[in-house]
Amino acid sequence: MNPDPDIAKVKRVLDLAAVFAWVLLGVAGLGLLAYLTFSGMYGTGWGARVPIILGFLGVLLSAVMQVIFTNSAVRAFPMERNLRVKALVGIVAPGVLAFIGAAILSLIIQVVTGDRDPIGSSFLFGCTVLVCAPLAGFLFDAGRKLSIVERKYGAAGAVQLYQYQLAATTVQR
């Protein structure tokens, strides 16, 4: 029984996460475009639209950070460090803080002017959860496993373990 984490499997998960990050970037961009289109079609006031648009821009920033961090993790694997911090501070924080800021600003605008956009707020929440949550979990878990291996074997040992596990999983012809 090998107690070491299977970092060859972590690499495969990160490869898939790098592709999925591009998909989520498209979802965030299309979500912003869809909101702008439909809120304009239904005549939502600009006062109510501005906080939601700012929230979508934060989610879009979070999606861009996902693409950057997952692709850099794939290229630097298994030498990637601080992947857990990058997942929390670089991916989750911009999206969640943008949603919270949009909710507070929307509430202020609703109290001052009476304009509100409840459908836009719900749509922003759905996009925030869809874009920020899935990959952050994968990156956090990958960072945890890589830190265990690096703490146990060091950086050079992590590379050797990855090469050994990769050789063991590839089919010999």
Longest dimension (CA), the chain: 72
For range 9-33, the mean pLDDT: 88
User: C-alpha angle 150/88/59, rounded to 5°?
Assistant: 140
150 within 8 A of 10, measured Cβ to Cβ: no
For range 48-54, the mean pLDDT: 88
* Mean pLDDT of the residues in the chain: 82
Q: How far is CA 61 from the centre of its chain?
A: 10
For range 67-75, the mean pLDDT: 85
Torsion from C-alpha of 101, 103, 104, 110, nearest 10 degrees: 140
* Residue 1 confidence (pLDDT): 46
Per-residue pLDDT of 119-153, as tens digits, reads: 888 888 888 888 888 888 888 888 888 877 777 77
* Residue 33 confidence (pLDDT): 92
* Residue 157 confidence (pLDDT): 76
Give phi and psi for 4, each to the nearest 5.
-75, 145
* Residue 171 confidence (pLDDT): 66
Residue 6 has pLDDT above 90, yes or no: no
Sequential DSSP letters for 110-168: HHHH----HHHHHHHHHHHHHHHHHHHHHHHHHHHHHHHHHHHHHHHHHHHHHHHHHHH
Q: pTM here?
A: 0.81
Per-residue pLDDT of 78-111, as tens digits, reads: 677 777 788 888 788 888 898 899 889 888 988 8
* Residue 173 confidence (pLDDT): 55
Which two three-digit tokens encode residue 43?
Answer: 């005549």
For range 155-159, the mean pLDDT: 74
* Residue 137 confidence (pLDDT): 82
